[in-house]
């Protein structure tokens, strides 16, 4: 005869699933939180007001064609976004560059109304050619600049930003190293003053809101 | 090594993607727990039958095993972590694998006698149904199963849900399991695993599946045609494939959900339609294979076991 299933017991497979679910709900997360502290945005902007609005320092750079480039003079001609990063950067730099490039394509701002400048903090690896190839992946109008390491460090510190640091596993390590660098994009007005800093995490939609205002307010 | 071990895949903000294996303990544990409980149930059932496995046990076990293998493949490295924290397109692919692979294989891999035990169904048909069976009957009503699946599809694609839950391992696990259970419930009216649970007739099954191919168009369209990245998680994730734009990744996700899901559902509908049409038009007496006969015996709980002779 067929033996009836005992109706009063919950099957172990159900228990197993419940146990697995409960285990997954335990607070074992070790990952970082996406919601970092909310930046203190400047009223009406998606960037943070830069204290003291430092002036663009004098500095001699080389562009991706190997030609000398006067960043200060360029910043006095039109509003300028400046970012300090490096082409081997595995996380923040490509996200910033991609988001600005996408926002430029999506906003009413034309490339000739705004300078987007990427200053390398890793001149040893980022030759003008490497910089050019890297930036062309995002937007051909982006300006890539390099200079001797100490000149770049000095320029960064003059703007009140933390000095870039090479993080090599050992002195003899080859090209496999990272570089600590400022994470924000600085927005300079046509007077060459850093007015706003856009922290890491600024989204495309926020750039699309702010880019026309940066150009309009500055150009009016 | 220990620092790279996690429970479940989740968004790891700021951590660059690396093509090196990262163990996910929760995946192994879940597979071991489900597989172990299943094997234990089969052995116990065989022991009750005097050490003899049911003839169709292997058939069911293969399907359940394939479901577990697919669950491991889609949740373990690299698909799990890529989908949880780096690429919306891979997240959409995982959703498809869960919905159209893992869920139907697991469900169709559970033998009816086991499902009856899980739902605490006794052998007395006149006995009032217990709470598990009553609950199962409600949630697997075709319109309830259809609604819950589509509501959860929309809810689990909402940016606020994704950006909040996927950044923790517990949240990501909850999202995955919620989706898996919703998919299993969705398949019940189609696969008709037990006569006690209401299934759908063939033509209505096709209509049900057709409906399932239409509603996902809504979230898929938002993903495909949105001007900006909807998910902060994927927009700010370190790039995996060079400068792949977050909007392009999102479009891939939308198209994967819509085209991939649509292709699978329409393929199933097509096969179902021709089988049904052939059956309707055929003058032949329907034939039944022995294995199908065995499965039907189990499904309808009609198998009679030989009672061992009493000890002398």
List, for residues B201-243, the tens digit of each pLDDT value.
889 999 999 999 888 888 899 999 999 999 999 999 998 987 6
List, for residues B180-200, the tens digit of each pLDDT value.
999 999 999 999 999 889 889
Q: Please report, for chain A, the start and end positions of each structural domain, with discontinuous segments joined by +.
A: 50-168+178-210
Rg (CA), chain B: 22
Phi-psi region of A201 (alpha: psi -120 to 50; beta: other; left: phi over 0): left
Gap from B267 CA to chain A (nearest CA, Å): 31
Q: Which CATH number is A50-168+178-210 given?
A: 3.40.30.10
Preferred mutation among A15, A16, A35, A180 to probe B, highest tally of B CBs within 10 A: A16
CB contact under 8 A, A7 and B122: yes
Q: Does A38 touch chain B (CB under 8 A)?
A: no
Supply the pLDDT for residue A9: 53
Supply the pLDDT for residue A21: 46
Nearest to B13 among A34, A137, A138 (CB): A34
Gap from A196 CA to chain B (nearest CA, Å): 20
List, for residues A67-102, the tens digit of each pLDDT value.
999 999 999 999 999 999 999 998 899 999 999 999
List, for residues B142-179, the tens digit of each pLDDT value.
999 999 999 999 999 999 999 999 999 999 999 999 99
Distances (CA, A) of A188 to A55, A98, A104, A115, A192: 8, 20, 17, 10, 6
CB contact under 8 A, B12 and A32: yes
List, for residues A160-192, the tens digit of each pLDDT value.
999 999 887 666 667 788 999 999 999 999 999
Instruction: Name the β-bridge partners of B6.
Output: B24
CB contact under 8 A, A95 and B236: yes
Chain position carrying tokens 């205002």 = A213
User: In chain A, which residue's Cα lies nearest the Cα of B231?
Assistant: A203
pLDDT band at B303 (very low <50, low <70, confident <90, very high): low
CB atoms < 10 A from the CB of A75, how many?
23
Nearest to A25 among B123, B124, B170 (CB): B170
Supply the pLDDT for residue B191: 94
Supply the pLDDT for residue A26: 35
User: How far is the first Cα of chain A from the last one, in angstroms, to the nearest whole number?
Assistant: 93
Residues A50, A51, A52, A58: is their CA dihedral positive or negative?
negative
Give the pLDDT mean for B241-247: 82
Please determine, for residue A218, whether its predicted confidence score (pLDDT) is greater than 60.
no
Nearest partner of A119 among A140, A144, A155, A139, judged by Cα: A144
List, for residues A102-136, the tens digit of each pLDDT value.
999 988 899 899 999 999 999 999 999 999 999 99
Gap from A25 CA to chain B (nearest CA, Å): 5
Please determine, for residue B140, whether its predicted confidence score (pLDDT) is greater than 50.
yes
Give the pLDDT mean for B293-303: 69
Nearest to A20 among B33, B113, B117 (CB): B33
Q: Model's pTM, two decimal places?
A: 0.82
**What is the residue-averaged pLDDT of chain B?**
88
Q: Does A23 touch chain B (CB under 8 A)?
A: yes
Q: What is the 3-state secondary structure (H, E, C) of B32-100?
A: HHHHHHHHHHHHHHHHHCCCCCCCCHHHHHHHHHHHHHHHHHHHCCCHHHHHHHCCHHHHHHHHHHHHH
Nearest partner of B219 among B162, B165, B300, judged by Cα: B162
Supply the ipTM of this predicted assembly.
0.78
Spatial separation of the C-alpha atoms in residues B130 and B181, rounded to whole Å: 21
Q: Poorest-confidence range of A154-158, B53-57, B110-114? A: B53-57
DSSP H/E element including A88: none
Preferred mutation among B185, B228, B242, B304 to probe A, highest tally of A CBs within 10 A: B228
pLDDT band at A8 (very low <50, low <70, confident <90, very high): very low
Supply the pLDDT for residue A171: 66
Spatial separation of the C-alpha atoms in residues B193 and A3, rounded to whole Å: 21
Q: Please report, for chain B, the start and end positions of each structural domain, with discontinuous segments joined by +.
A: 24-121+130-282
CB atoms < 10 A from the CB of B267, how many?
11
**Dihedral over alpha carbons A17, B61, B139, B130 (to 10 degrees):** -80
């Amino acid at each position: 005869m067929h033996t009836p299933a005992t109706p009063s017991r919950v099957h172990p497979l159900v228990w197993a699933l419940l146990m697995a679910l409960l285990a997954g709900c335990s607070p074992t997360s070790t990952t970082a939180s996406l919601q970092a502290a909310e930046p203190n945005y400047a009223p009406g902007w998606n960037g943070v007001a830069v204290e003291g609005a430092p002036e663009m320092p004098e500095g001699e750079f080389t562009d991706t064609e190997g030609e000398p480039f006067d960043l200060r003079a360029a910043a006095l001609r039109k509003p300028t976004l400046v970012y300090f990063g490096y082409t081997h950067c595995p996380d923040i730099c490509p996200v910033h560059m991609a988001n600005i490039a996408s926002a430029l394509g999506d906003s009413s701002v034309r490339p000739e109304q705004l300078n987007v400048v990427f200053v390398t903090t890793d001149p040893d690896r980022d030759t003008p050619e490497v910089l050019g190839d890297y930036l062309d992946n995002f937007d051909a109008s982006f300006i890539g600049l390099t200079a001797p390491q100490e000149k770049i460090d000095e320029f960064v510190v003059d703007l009140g930003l933390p000095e870039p640091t090479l993080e090599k596993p050992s002195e003899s390590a080859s090209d496999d190293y990272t570089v600590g660098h400022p994470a924000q994009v600085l927005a300079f007005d046509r007077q060459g003053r850093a007015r706003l800093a856009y922290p890491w995490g600024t989204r495309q939609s926020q750039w699309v809101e702010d880019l026309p205002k940066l150009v309009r307010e500055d150009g009016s | 090594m220990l620092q790279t071990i996690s429970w479940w895949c989740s968004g790891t903000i700021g951590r660059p993607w690396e093509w090196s294996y990262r163990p996910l303990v929760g995946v192994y544990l879940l597979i071991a727990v489900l597989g172990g409980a299943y094997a234990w149930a089969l052995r116990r059932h065989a022991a009750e039958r005097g050490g003899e496995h049911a003839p169709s046990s292997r058939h069911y076990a293969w399907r359940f095993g394939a479901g577990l293998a697919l669950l491991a493949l889609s949740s373990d490295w690299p698909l799990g972590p890529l989908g949880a924290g780096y690429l919306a397109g891979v997240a959409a692919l995982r959703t498809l694998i869960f919905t159209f692979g893992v869920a139907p294989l697991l469900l169709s891999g559970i033998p009816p006698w086991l499902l009856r035990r899980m739902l605490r169904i006794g052998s007395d048909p006149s006995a009032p149904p217990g709470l598990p069976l009553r609950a199962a009957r409600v949630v697997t009503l075709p319109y309830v199963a259809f609604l819950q699946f589509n509501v959860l599809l929309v809810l689990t694609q909402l940016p606020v849900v994704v950006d909040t839950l996927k950044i923790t391992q517990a949240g990501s696990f909850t999202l995955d399991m919620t989706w898996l259970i919703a998919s299993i419930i969705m398949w019940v009216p189609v696969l008709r695993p037990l006569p006690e649970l209401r299934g759908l007739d063939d033509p209505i099954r096709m209509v049900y599946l057709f409906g399932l191919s239409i509603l996902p168009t809504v979230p898929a369209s938002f993903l495909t045609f949105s001007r900006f990245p909807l998910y902060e998680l994927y927009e700010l994730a370190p790039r995996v494939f060079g400068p792949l734009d977050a909007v392009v990744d999102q479009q891939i996700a939308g198209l994967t959900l819509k085209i991939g899901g649509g292709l699978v559902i329409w393929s199933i509908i097509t096969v179902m339609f021709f089988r049904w049409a052939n059956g309707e038009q055929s003058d032949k007496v329907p034939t039944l294979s022995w294995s199908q006969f065995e499965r039907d015996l189990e499904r309808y709980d009609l198998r009679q076991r030989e009672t061992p002779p009493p000890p002398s």
